[in-house]
Chains A and B, each alone.
Chain A
Amino acid sequence: MFTDPQGTTASDRILRAMRRPPVALLVLVATLAACTPLPTGSSDQTMRILTGTPTSLDPAVQGDSTSAAISAQLFESLTTFDSDLHLRPALAESWAFDPGSRRVTFHLRPGLTFSDGSPLRPSDVVRSWLRLLDPGSPSPLASLALDIAGAQAFLRGESFDPATVGLHADDAANTLTVDLVRPASDFPNIVSASAFGVVPPGVGSNPAALSPGPSFVASGGYVLTGTTATGLTLTANPHYWAGPPAIGTVELVGDLGGRSEVDAFQADELDYTPLNGADASWIAYDRTLGPQLRQVGSLSVQYYGFDTSRPPFDDVRVRRAIGAAVDWQRLATLAGGNGSMQVANSMVPPGIPGRSDTDFLPAYDPAAARKLLAAAGYPGGAGFPATTLMTSGGPFDEAIVDEVKRELGINLSYETMGDAYFDRLAQDPPQMWALGWVADYPGRDDFLGVLLGSGASANYGRWSSPAFDAAIAEAGSATDPTGVSAAFDKAEAIVRDDVPVVPVGYGPDWALSRTGLLGATQNGLGVVRMAGLAWAD
């Protein structure tokens, strides 16, 4: 799911009313340790957390990490990842693959209900997942579901019969069987993503179904029961599969009105908040706040991309020229916030299982860049068409414009956009753009096939490479780790050489967590699992 880099320019002051907390590049990236809440009754001590404002609470509509971090509390999927990135059962109590791993059967927990007490059946899972593939309104993360047999054709509108999609619910047996297009042994990992949250029947057809209040029905640990002046109120779901979460009420604070999150935390207005790295540096040495400081690993990447479907970036030589003209690693070192950002060498961030240590960045070679540009018909930048870099505002933007001008003689126009940036990216991508991507699940393909596969919903640069697609397919079909790794390496090398995107930096992020708040560990997946929190006695 996407996130956006931190803005640091004066212009960004008017961008802060976005779908993220105003302070940080960072969306909420803590994930809580326990997947099972405490068996004791709910605490009456409210927990207040700075989350930002979601674009949508509908798992099938959202694509951004802020929305995902909230909807994941409301709508549970079949599986989830714990703080150690171990896959755990959630609505499903178990699953088993057929030989060959092209079919998986999930056994749902017995007696599951939604928060209103109505039964939650395998057919509800099918209904929820099919919404991701609605050809008229596909999910921004629909690509995550394309391992399901028939999903691609359904998504493209080539088939209108949901029965052609390989999702088979047996409510009597309480099972969901999924036919897969490849030996997708990682499918239970993939469906842990918040996009696969199971929603009640009204979602999608009745707008009131997502409105706070008594009519809101959840499958997750919390129910959306109200709003506050600055956010949303969640109440523990009494019918949650693991019992009511230990913390009875959670207030999600969407906006501090420009105030510092540190001030709000110190004023006891927040119990958990993402934190700007500029504050983390001194807080580490503060006797009071230091012990409440958390380093939050983030399975995320900040990257730049090109619209490869239109001039001038439909010419691979132009993309390679840009790729070689900018010293990306030095850029991240210099502009990455006093060393708080890790320099990228791959689209896949550290912490993703099976990640290669190979450097997959374009080689920095300005002389070669100038030759490539000349070969493309733009010697010294002469005749280069008017080209715009549009982002949501980030620390590297100005430096990139500067380096491209200096090394290639290209005057990139630069524009930033607020709330509508992500919609623009999806519908009419700028010639050059930037994005942050937080893992939906800990897998290399979430940063490769999902972002760059031909026709993938999150492939905003509309890049298409049969060789890359083949490498991804090879990785998906390989049954041994070595084969999987080799195929993904091949795919990453193609990205390096074809330059549809260039990764720049990785997390980590920071947070302040109130003393006495238990279980507030993280795994970097961009979703806080509040059902696992508890207050110390």
Chain B
Amino acid sequence: MGRLTRRLGVLGLLASLALSLAPAASAATWATFGTPSATSTYGTGVEFSQPVTVDKAVARVELLLTIANAIGPVVTELPVPTGTGPTTLSHLLDTSGDGHLLPNTPIVARWRLTASDDPTDVALGPILRVTYADDRFTWQTEAGGLVRVHWYEGTTDFGRRALKVGEDGVRKASVLLGVTESKPVDFYVYADQAAFYDALGPGTRENVGGEADAGIRTLFALIPPNQINDVWVGIVIPHELTHLVVDTAAGNPYHFPPRWLNEGLAVYESQGYDASDRGRISDAVSSQTLIPLDGLVGQFPTSADGFFLAYAESVSAVDFMIRAYGTDALVTLIRSYKDGQTDDEAFRKGLGVDTAAFAAAWLADLGATPPTRYGPQPAPAAPVPHGGGGGVDAMTVILAILAVGLVIVIALVVGRRRRRPAAGPEP
């Protein structure tokens, strides 16, 4: 992801858009499917509809939705129509809130009916291909050999400039990692922050200026038209494209490289280890606030300072990796993930050391002391301990207390008896 914060813009209005459909022939026997349809309202959902005539009772109705590049569909079970004859099946895929989908997400939809008299008798409806689009804006498109840039504010020159940066970026990253990109990449440019964050979804963290999603081969960036010539543009586009190329180089069903490596490579490719990041690292070393690399394998910190520091550390580590081990080692490391390697296996294959050794070497190169770990911590106990008694255990405790008391009483009595003689006769 990119890192530059952008000013707040105007939120676009919701609109509806009829999606491009590609119905295929029905495969039904006892069910005759008509032409399916889908209507999308960005930010609200996609309404799927399927006319069908059934000749026998239906036990189950399901809508199968394959989202993006998923290896299989999400199945939604829906109410069963009563009786036989014609009916229209429908379902709203809710994309608001938690159901958010990124714009440009392709969806393959298909209805599935199961007969009441035979659970193995299944009728599949025709395939419907739709793309969930951000229809709030009128997009302009400029296509190159691999990249298609979409923008809604700014001139044609703006789009061409963005396209050139994109084409150059993907070419550079592909050469670095030795991969050949052949599938088109869509690049959506948003002009204001609110619309941009809305496109990325409710969980988007602050300070995000760009995001790439390899599953839909799409990148999103926040670039107001008046900033098309800013340095930022030459950074965010190759940055996000590098993520797509890394995915091509390392993608596998098992395990993806740690986030700091992915982001560090993207920053290194797009802007290098610049003075700003060097300054952050220097400050963090001085203040002993560095986050170790094993703390940056997943999400990055939510605070702005932590967020920017995480990126700075990422590119610092990649810079050190290239200085200490060479570019070829880095490429070997990245590409080894393709075979389903653990982090340690990939690092040993690429660099000859495991992740811990690399992280320690990086810290040593920075002259940093090992970062302090503040958690996890045990929870403080409630001030009053458990007050229950009873149960077999409790009864045992009670009996034990009684027994101890009895022993004490006996001991006292015996003690007294023993002490008396020991005291000797009174003079």
Contact = CB atoms under 8 A, between A and B. Distances in A.
Instruction: Find the residue from B65, B94, B298, B373 having the highest chain A CB count within 10 A.
Output: B298
Interface stretch (A13-21, A112-120, A128-136): A13-21
A309 interface: no
Contacts of A11: 65-68, 70, 72-74
A401 B295 contact: no
Nearest to B290: A285
Instruction: Find the residue from A256, A338, A402, A532 having the highest chain B CB count within 10 A.
Output: A338
Interface in A73-112: 79, 82, 86-90, 92-97, 107, 109
A257 interface: yes
B376 A276 contact: no
Interface stretch (B166-174, B200-208, B231-239): B200-208
A331 interface: yes
A338 B258 contact: yes
Nearest to B380: A518
B226 interface: no
A15 B375 CA distance: 31
A295 B377 CA distance: 8
A33 B381 contact: yes
Interface string B335-375: 00000111100000000000000000000000000011111
Interface stretch (A162-170, A313-321, A415-423): A415-423
B67 A34 contact: no
Contacts of A420: 76-77
Contact of B384 (A36, A401, A402, A513): A36
Interface string A476-492: 00000000000000000
Contacts of A259: 202-203
Contacts of A39: 384, 387
A267 to B, nearest CB: 10
B257 to A, nearest CB: 10
Nearest to B67: A11
Contacts of B373: 284-285, 290
B383 A292 contact: no
B388 interface: yes
Contact of A293 (B372, B377, B390): B377
A291 interface: yes
Nearest to B213: A10
A34 B77 contact: no
B75 A415 contact: yes
Nearest to B310: A282
Q: Which DSSP category, helix, strand, loop or mixed, fits chain B's interface? A: loop
B414 interface: no
A397 B215 CA distance: 16
Contact of B201 (A32, A258, A278, A402): A258
Contacts of A284: 295, 373-376
Interface in A484-537: 510, 513, 517-522, 532-534, 536
Nearest to B76: A418
A456 B95 CA distance: 38
A334 interface: yes
Chain A interface size, under 10 / 10 to 19 / 20 to 34 / 35 or more: 35 or more
Nearest to A340: B298
A427 to B, nearest CB: 10
B30 interface: no
Contacts of A295: 376
Chain B interface size, under 10 / 10 to 19 / 20 to 34 / 35 or more: 35 or more
Contact of A35 (B94, B372, B388): B388
A398 interface: yes
A215 interface: no
A34 B205 contact: no
A331 B254 contact: yes
Contacts of B213: 10
Interface in A321-365: 331, 333-335, 337-338
B374 A89 contact: no
A333 B255 CA distance: 9
A246 interface: yes
A420 B75 CA distance: 9
Contacts of B384: 34, 36-39, 534
Interface in A235-265: 242, 246, 255-260, 262-263
Given A258-B97, A291-B375, A415 B72 contact: yes
B272 interface: no
B345 to A, nearest CB: 9
Interface string A204-222: 0000000000000000000
A20 to B, nearest CB: 11
Interface in B132-150: none
A338 B291 CA distance: 17
Interface string A110-154: 000000000000000000000000000000000000000000000
Contacts of A397: 71
B254 A399 contact: yes
B119 interface: yes
B381 A95 contact: no
A281 B343 CA distance: 15
Given A283-B375, A416-B72, A418-B76, A399 B388 contact: no
B299 interface: yes
Nearest to A255: B98
A284 B100 CA distance: 29
Contacts of B387: 34-36, 39, 242
Nearest to B216: A10
B382 A518 contact: yes
Contact of B386 (A22, A34, A94, A188): A34
Interface stretch (B21-29, B315-323, B391-399): B391-399
Interface stretch (B155-163, B181-189, B300-308): B300-308
Contact of B98 (A188, A257, A287, A424): A257
B296 interface: yes
Contacts of A82: 386
A45 interface: no
B389 interface: yes
B388 A33 contact: no
Contact of A287 (B258, B300, B310, B374): B374
B154 interface: no
Nearest to B343: A338
A27 interface: no
A10 B291 contact: no
A293 B343 CA distance: 25
A289 interface: yes
Contacts of A171: none
Given A13-B99, A96-B395, A334-B255, A89 B74 contact: no
Contacts of A256: 98
Contacts of B94: 14, 17
B51 interface: no
B69 interface: yes
Contact of B99 (A17, A338, A413, A519): A17
A89 B390 contact: yes
B302 to A, nearest CB: 5
A476 B384 CA distance: 36
13 contacts: A10-B216, A14-B95, A35-B386, A88-B391, A89-B394, A258-B201, A282-B291, A283-B375, A285-B295, A286-B375, A290-B374, A291-B377, A513-B379
Closest 8 CB pairs of A and B: A290-B374, A278-B298, A519-B382, A414-B72, A293-B375, A258-B202, A290-B375, A94-B390
Interface of A: 9-11, 13-17, 22, 32-39, 79, 82, 86-90, 92-97, 107, 109, 188, 242, 246, 255-260, 262-263, 266, 276-287, 289-295, 331, 333-335, 337-338, 390, 397-399, 401-402, 413-418, 420, 424, 428, 510, 513, 517-522, 532-534, 536
Given A11-B73, A14-B99, A93-B391, 12 more contacts: A10-B102, A11-B68, A14-B67, A35-B387, A88-B391, A259-B203, A263-B302, A276-B299, A287-B374, A293-B374, A293-B375, A518-B379
